[in-house]
Structure 1
Amino acid sequence: MLSIGEFSKICGVSTKTLRYYAEVGLIHPEEINPESGYRYYSIRQLKKMLFINRLKSYHFSLDEIRSLLEWEEDQADERVGRALQRKIGELQQKMDAYAYTMEQMKRDAVQLENGIPMMAYLEHIEVQLVETPPMNLLYTRQLLRVEDYAGGYGPYFSRLYEQVAKKGLTLLGTPITIYHSPEFNPAGNDTEFAIPVMEIVTGTRDFPGGLCAKSVLRGPYSEMTSVHARLREWIENEGFELSKAPYEVYVTNPAESAVPADIVTEVYFPVRKK
């Protein structure tokens, strides 16, 4: 048996962390002396601890690691393999985003060297006044916290597409997100996910068309706040006001775009003259 200090030294994990791992059910001491409270780990637990360390180095959360540890040994390898593939995809997206950010920083640095203000790019975001047609939307409406946004919209749109297939509906467009909350609230925002369909069935609603200020974002979603800011500036300068909730149309699927610069999102702000 190894004392918690010896186990800690071999695995490169502090005794404080080991105690926390025991609290959250990740790895428990093999034995605890009832009189002294000293904790002891077996040699065979070294493999488990190194496995945990390896997954942590792969950016798995403790909850994800605990879930993988709960599987029976004969199913664990297959489960871990699938988890690794998912994590590879997640990390690739982050790497692509970092690469895009790096190029953006380089462009900003060059512009500043040439005497061009860093925020001058806002003036080049084009805005059009368009008349949009009415749509019939298959939708779901959720109160989303900040963590939900970070997790992406995939699960919500996936459920809608499942309904499309189950009910045999005819698609008439790409996914849409409508933002109903009047202000941003980290505790929860009223967000509607929708897909335009032909058939009027349970779970669909009429979405009236109308006059909109429209812009197009070509790039990662992290740039969306700039487009929203430019649209509000344009609306104010042109004597309009927002009439309904703004919405976004995903021309390309962000989850399937290998290069962030290839992502295309249309942004609509319904407006009326003041």
Structure 2
Amino acid sequence: MPSGLTIGEFATLTHLSVRTLRRYHEAGLLEPATVDPFTGYRYYTPDQIPTAQVIHRLRQLDVPLAEVETVLGTDDPHERAEVIEGHLQRLEAELERTRAAVLSLRRLLRPTPADLPVELRTVRGRAVAAINGHVRLEDSLLWYDSAMTELDATFPPAERTGPPGGQYANELFTHGVGTMTVFRPVRAPHPNGRIEVVDLPPADLAIAVHAGPHDDIDVTYGRLGAWVVEHALTVDGPIHEVYRVGPRDTADPAEWRTEIGWPVFRLAAAVEPQLRS
């Protein structure tokens, strides 16, 4: 008679169901120590318990079977750690996306305040130090952070004359890839590396301020867009953002303030400068 733990006993010791153990066996992740050739019964040994528990923990984290095999199949602890760390980073990113979606939905369901203050403002033309790039939307945050780091390193606080900003082509949002321009107003803009001197043209903008973290900034975009459709004529041109208070100013996201500027064509000079939806 084969020696070892029956699949039922092994299931009890590892808190894994018999069905799960059979699935691990079929996937080649955890094969029984022996299989009775006549009855087909599976038998395990006590030293297989830690392996079963490792598999269980990895699968609880939704680690793909192929990566579980990599973790189990290598004796290199650094390689195992890299595989697991890579998956944990993907899980954290997914959790962040979920949190942002929940925040946006809550704001849509319970808008506060119900009306969005919108200001019509004429922005003068000016020369700024800027970095341009053709960027995919999913890469935009990393690209922005890299560009701003380069601008900050080239122009220290004493040379800056205003908060940083950005201009984003409509295609970035409509097609998922488009031109991004990140800039800083400085006393004497000059080229350096990726940095170039860009002349920003004057523009008439409908401006709303997004308060707080950027997770639900799309909600403010939507409300500003609805206001523009109702009150003004839109014109072709990039969306303007100015980061009055941002991550480089404070680590508290509740303090962040982002101006969103929607290019418009002003129909009448008599329009009040401060309007509400």
- Please indicate the TM-score interval, normalised by the length of the shorter structure: 0.5 to 0.7
Q: Is 1:170 aligned to 2:161, yes or no? A: no
* Structure 1 gap segments, 5+ residues each: 109-117
* Equivalent residue runs for 1:221-232 within 5 Å: 221-232=214-225
Pairing 1:72–2:76 present: yes
Does residue 129 (structure 1) correspond to residue 132 (structure 2)? The answer is: no
Query: 1:80-121 CA deviation, whole Å, 9 max, x = no partner?
Result: 79997x79987996898699679869xx7xxxxxxxxx5584
Amino acid paired to 2:166 = I
Superimposed CA distance per residue, residues 126-177 of structure 1 (whole angstroms, 9 cap, x where no aligned partner):
3342415433312332223xxx37xx82x32343356458xx5216444636
2:234 pairs with 1:241: yes
- Letter in structure 1 aligned against 2:232: G
Q: CA RMSD in A?
A: 5.3
Cross-structure match for 1:270: 263
1-structure distance, mates of 2:172, 2:93 = 31
Matched, 1:199 2:184: no
Match of 1:180 in 2: 170
Any conservation in 2 of the 1:3–1:41 contact (CA below 8 Å)?
yes
Normalised by the length of structure 2, the TM-score is 0.58
Instruction: Map 1:71-220 to 2 at 5 A.
Output: 72-73=76-77, 121-134=113-126, 135-144=128-137, 148=138, 153=141, 155-161=142-148, 163-164=150-151, 169-170=154-155, 172=160, 173-174=163-164, 176=166, 178-181=168-171, 184-185=174-175, 188-190=176-178, 192=180, 194-196=182-184, 198-205=189-196, 206=198, 208-211=200-203, 212-220=205-213
**Equivalents in 2 of 1:143, 1:28: separation in Å?**
41
User: Separation in 2 of the partners of 1:139 and 1:64?
Assistant: 40
* Structure 2 unmatched runs, 5+: 268-277
Question: Which residue is equivalent to 2:270?
Answer: none
In 2, are the aligned partners of 1:127 and 1:231 still within 8 Å (CA)? no
- 1:102, 1:16 → 2: CA distance? 41
Question: In 2, distance between residues paired with 1:68 and 1:177?
Answer: 44
Kept in 2, the 8 Å contact 1:169–1:199? The answer is: no
2:47 pairs with 1:47: no
Identity level (%): 16
Q: How does 1:246-265 map to 2 (within 5 A)?
A: 246-250=239-243, 251-253=245-247, 257-258=251-252, 260-265=253-258
- 1:127 is paired with a residue of what secondary structure? strand
Amino acid at match of 2:77: E
CA 1:98–1:224: 2 relative to 1, 3 Å = closer
How many angstroms apart in 1 are the aligned matches of 2:263 and 2:119?
Answer: 13
TM-score, normalisation: structure 1: 0.58
| Letter aligned with residue 226 of structure 1 | V
Please point out which of 16, 24, 29 is paired with 1:18.
24
Instruction: Say whether the 8 Å CA contact 1:177–1:247 is kept in structure 2.
Output: yes
Q: Which has the larger radius of gyration?
A: 2
**Number of residue-to-residue matches in the alignment:** 244
Quick one: distance in 2 between partners of 1:252 and 1:64? 41
Query: Structure 2 CA distance, aligned partners of 1:180 and 1:39?
Result: 61
Alpha-carbon distance in structure 1 between the residues aligned to 2:135 and 2:95:
28
- The 3 A distance-change label for structure 1 pair 227 and 158 is closer
Describe the SS at the equivalent of 2:192: coil
CA distance in 2 between counterparts of 1:240 and 1:71 reads 65
1:177-214 C-alpha deviation (Å, 9 max, x unpaired): 624317635xx333626343733234335251422221
Cross-structure match for 2:274: none
Distance 1:121 1:247 in 2: 23
Secondary structure of 2:174's aligned partner: coil
- CA separation of 1:15/1:83 partners in 2, compared to 1, >3 Å: closer, same or farther? closer
Shift of 1:31: 7.3
